[in-house]
Amino acid sequence: MAVFKGAGVAIVTPMYEDGSVNYDKLGELIEFQIANSTDAIIICGTTGESSTMTHGEHLKTIKYAIDKVAKRIPVIAGTGSNCTETAIMMSKEAASYGADALLVVTPYYNKATQKGLIAHYTAIANAVPDTPIIMYNVPSRTGCNIQPATVAALVKNVKNIVGVKAASGDLSQIAKTVALAGEDLELYSGNDDQTLPILSLGGIGVISVLSNVAPKETHDMVMKFLDGDIRGAAKIQIDAIPLISALFCEVNPIPAKAALNLMGMNVGPLRMPLTEMEDSNKEILAKAMKDFGIKLA
């Protein structure tokens, strides 16, 4: 059984003006997502600014989300690190809290070889044998690319490594990965503008930034495709392209937080080195949101 099918939100981490985590607001966002048909909560990923959290904050935020969701939908915890031992520690803690799955990014900065990636992911998986693991391939951020043969070897040979969040942008690589891994692979799009192309290659969902501001539409797009309404799904994908472009006109999650604030969600500021969105880009974002039918505050 797949971890989830549909649209999982890569949820932002709301913060107070002093930069501390606003857990009450996070609870409001989780309820907003569940009420609008989101199929999974992905907590403490890139969009959640996990890279600037302390280990204590990171784990507290994961536990808060798991407790708040209370098994209504799956919670997938981001527990990756460029240090294997740290990733193991974070993964074991998240598993002990009841995470439904883990999202584990490739080691960044030290850029492991393919042999190193197999060793890294196998060690993490063996430390949490009862918790499914989704690998996260985003070479534009990490400088490290999981090759198709490596993905196939891991999902075929390690029982709880079940899938990949594919954010390489390379559809040919993704197709080759599916060809090698076959039915052993749960494939999730990691790029909102490629959701339907990746679904057409056998994907079963998206881990989405767009879902922060348009959860129902993102869910509907995936479900229409999976239910055979290709035209309906394509219309949502195409209509969303200007908004998706605006949500990535500055580095994620700068625009996502700006968008939620424009909606009156009051998710607060970003942690440095991320800074507030440029006014000119915020105007583009606001227009794209209104054109997509999102009400601004």
What is the set of active-site residues?
136, 165
The residue to which tokens 């009400």 are assigned: 295
The residue to which tokens 């520690």 are assigned: 89
- Number of residues that this document lists for the chain: 297
**Residue pair 8/26 in contact by the 8 Å Cβ criterion:** no
Q: Using N-to-C axis directions, what is the helix angle for 114-127 and 148-157, rounded to 10°?
A: 30
**Residue pair 129/159 in contact by the 8 Å Cβ criterion:** yes
In angstroms, the CA 67 to CA 34 distance is 14
The residue to which tokens 């909560």 are assigned: 41
In angstroms, the CA 184 to CA 223 distance is 21
**Residue pair 11/260 in contact by the 8 Å Cβ criterion:** no
| CA distance readout (Å), 145 to 1, 50, 108, 194, 237 | 27, 20, 10, 18, 26
In angstroms, the CA 277 to CA 270 distance is 10
